[in-house]
Chain A
Amino acid sequence: MLAQVIKAYNEAIFDTDRDRALAVVRQAVDSGVSPEDIIFKVVIPAIELMIKSISENFDANLAQHFMTSQIAAEVTEQMIPRFKKSPEIVGRVVIGNASGDFHGLGKRIVIGCLKALMIDVTDLGLNVPPERFVDEAIAHNAEVIGISSMMVHTARGENGCLKVRQILKERNLEDTIKIAVGGAPYRFDHELYKIVQADAWAENGITAGKVITDLIREVRK
C-alpha cells in the first residue's frame, strides 16, 4: 500500500501535478496511512529523491523544484495537526533576499522544502538589511541564516553576505550561527560562496534543504 502511495506521489511531483499529488495523499490518509508516514515516508523521501536526481545530473527544471517544494509544504501543513504528538523540530532558520534584491522565487522554494524537513523557518522577505538578518537570527534562536541573491551585485556587495559575516564576527556568533547562500551568481561561479564568506551554498532550492540541514547539525554537534 505505502509503496503504491510513494510511487503515485513521486510521479505526480515529477509531472508538477499538484492536484494529483494532493489527491494521492488524501486517498492514502483515507485508506489508513498515518499522517506521520505521509510526511516521513512519502513527502521527505520525495524531496530526497529529487536531490539525488539533481546530483546525478537529471535535468530537473525550475518548475519541478517549485512544485516539489510547494506541494511538500502544503501537505506538511495539512498533516502536522493530525500527528499523534508534535514532531521534533530539526532546527531553526531565518531566510531572506540580500539587500537590494527583489527576486523571491528561490527563497520560496527553499522555505517549502525546509518546512517539510521539519525545520522552523522565518521568512524575512525581500531586500533585507544585513543587521536585520543577524538580529532576527538571534531573536528566533536560529542556527542558520539563509541569504538569497539573484544578482551579482547583491551577492557580492558590501551590504550582502560579507556584511552579515562581519556582524557575526563582531558579535562573536560565528560558532552558533552559520550562513548559507544561493541564487544565480553562485551557480555561475561555484567558488563565489567563499569570496562572500558564507559557510555553504546550494545550487538550487531543493538541494538547499540538505545543505541547511547539514549546517544545523554542525552547529548542534
Chain B
Amino acid sequence: MDRLVAAINGKTSDRIPVFCNLLDQGAKELGVSLKEYYLNGEHVAEAQLRMREKYGYDNVWSLFYVGKEAEVLGCGKIAFANDGPPNVEDFVIKTYDDIEKLQVPDDISGHPAFQEPLKCLRILKREVGGKYPICAYITASMTLPAILMGMDRWMELLLIGPADVRDALLTKCSDFFRKEITAYRNAGADVLVYSNPFGSTDFISMKLFKELSLPWMERDLKPVGSQGVVYYCGSARFNNVIEQVIERLGISVFYLSPMDDIAEGKKIIAGRGLCCGVINDIKLIDWSKEDIRNEVRRMIDQGMPGGRFLFGTLVMPYAIPEENIRAMLEAAYEFGRYEKAE
C-alpha cells in the first residue's frame, strides 16, 4: 500500500507500484476448473493471496468475472470455459419491455449473487487489508447495458433507439452503479476500477461523449464521490478526454489503454493525478523474454520520470506462460526502482 500511496502523492518509495491483474489463473493455482473456482469466494480469495505472494506485485482483486453484475440484475446463464473468462450467455434484456421490468436490488450486499464476492472481500480485508490495495471492478452506467442486452443491441438503442427507453435503462444502470460502489466500499475495497469503454472516443464521437457519457458519469459519481475511483475504458484509448474527466468528474487516477501514448497521458495529467501505463498483455503469450523486457523498459522510461506512475496489465489472458508473467514482473521491478531513475 505504501508504494501506491507514495505514487499518488508524488513521493518516491523503493519502486513504482505494479498492478498485475491475474484472475482466471487462480483456478490453475488451486488445481480446480474455472467453473468450480468462480463458484466459491474462498477459492478466489485464496488464489488472489497466493498469486500475490508468489509473484510479489502490489494488488489483489475481488473481481470474479464481468458477468457477475449481470447475475445480480437477473442473468441466470453464464457460459464457463476451460481456458478463459466466463461469459454472459443469456441476456436479461431481450426486448425494450424488459427494460421496464428490470429490477435494481435495494440491497446489493444481501443479494444471493453478491455473496461469494463479499465472502472473498472479507477474507482479503482480513488477510491483507491496509497492506495491499484491494481492487473492485464496477461497470459504468453507459457500459452496463452491453452485458444486459448485448453490445450490438445497446449500440442500436444508444444511437437510433427511443431516447426515453435509453434514458430509463441508463437511470437504472446508474442507480445500480451507486449501490454497487457503496457495497464494495463498505466491504473493504480500496481501488474502484470504473470501467467505461463508452468513456472513450474509440467507441463514440466526442460529441456523444460530451452530450451523453459525461453527464451519465456525473450522475454515477456525484452522490458517491470519486475517492479511490480509477478511470478505465477497457482497452480503449482516452488521452483526449482526460482533461474533461479531471474537470467534470474529479477523478485523479487514469488506467490508460495499451494503445495510449504514456508520455502524452502524463503530460495531460500534469501532476494532477496518477498515470497507469498498461502493457499489451495479449502479446505476452508469444513474446520472448527479451521482447517483454524491452517493452516494459520502454513503458517505464516513458512513464516514470516525474513520478506519479504505476505499471499495470489488462486482464491477463489465461494462456500467458508463467515464465512470461515472471519476466514482465521482474523487468517492472528492476526498471521501476526509484533510485535508478534519479
Chain A residues near B (Cβ < 8 Å): 15-16, 18-19, 59, 61-64, 66-67, 70, 100-105, 108, 127, 151-154, 156-157, 184-185, 188-189, 191-192, 195
Q: Is B294 an interface residue, CB under 8 A from the partner?
A: no
The residue in chain A whose Cβ has the minimal distance to the Cβ of B283 is A189
Chain B residue at minimum C-beta to C-beta distance from A184: B235
On whether the beta carbons of B280 and A153 are closer than 8 Å, the reply is: no
Report A-chain residues with C-beta under 8 Å of the C-beta of B158: 63
Nearest-CB residue, chain B, relative to A67: B159
Nearest B residue (CB) for A190? B283
The answer to whether A102 and B283 have CB atoms under 8 Å apart is no
Q: Is the interface of A mostly helix, strand, loop or mixed?
A: helix
Q: Which residue of chain B has the shortest Cβ distance to A107 in the bound complex? A: B152
Kindly provide the distance from the CB of A58 to the nearest chain B CB, expressed in whole angstroms: 12
B residues contacting the other copy or chain, number (CB 8 A): 32
Q: Evaluate contact between A105 and B205: CB separation under 8 angstroms.
A: no
Distance in angstroms from A33 CB to nearest chain B CB is: 24
Task: Tell me the nearest residue of chain B to A188, going by C-beta.
Answer: B282
Is B79 an interface residue, CB under 8 A from the partner?
Answer: yes
Q: Is the CB of B286 within 8 A of A188?
A: no
- In the bound assembly, the distance between CA atoms of A36 and B317 in angstroms comes to 47
User: Nearest chain A CB to B143's CB is how many angstroms away?
Assistant: 12
Cβ contacts under 8 Å, A103 to chain B:
151
> Given A18-B159, A66-B155, A157-B84, A152–B317 Cβ distance below 8 Å?
yes
Q: Is the CB of A189 within 8 A of B202?
A: no
Whole-angstrom CA separation of A93 from B187 in the bound complex: 51
Given A59-B201, A61-B204, residue A153 in contact with residue B319 (CB < 8 A): yes
- A100 and B282 in contact, given A61-B201, A63-B208, A152-B317 (Cβ under 8 angstroms): no
Please, which residues of chain A bring their CB within 8 A of the CB of B88? 102
* Given A100-B84, A102-B87, A153-B317, A189 contacting B282 (CB threshold 8 A): yes
Write out the residue numbers on chain A whose beta carbons fall within 8 Å of the beta carbon of B89.
102, 127
Asked if B87 and A100 sit within 8 Å, CB to CB, the answer is yes
> Whole-angstrom distance between the alpha carbons of A203 and B151 in the complex?
18
Residue ID in chain A nearest B150 by CB atoms: A104
Contact between B319 and A63, CB atoms less than 8 A apart: no
Of listed A66, A157, A191, residue having the most chain B CB within 10 A: A66
Instruction: Determine how close the nearest CB of chain A comes to the CB of B316; give it in whole angstroms.
Output: 10
B-chain residues with CB within 8 Å of residue A102 when the two chains form the complex: 79, 87-89, 150
Are B203 and A63 closer than 8 Å at their CB atoms? yes
Chain A min CB distance to B90 (Å) = 9
Contact residues in B for A105 (Cβ distance below 8 Å): 150-152, 155
Q: How far is the CA of A154 from the CA of B159 in the complex (A)?
A: 28
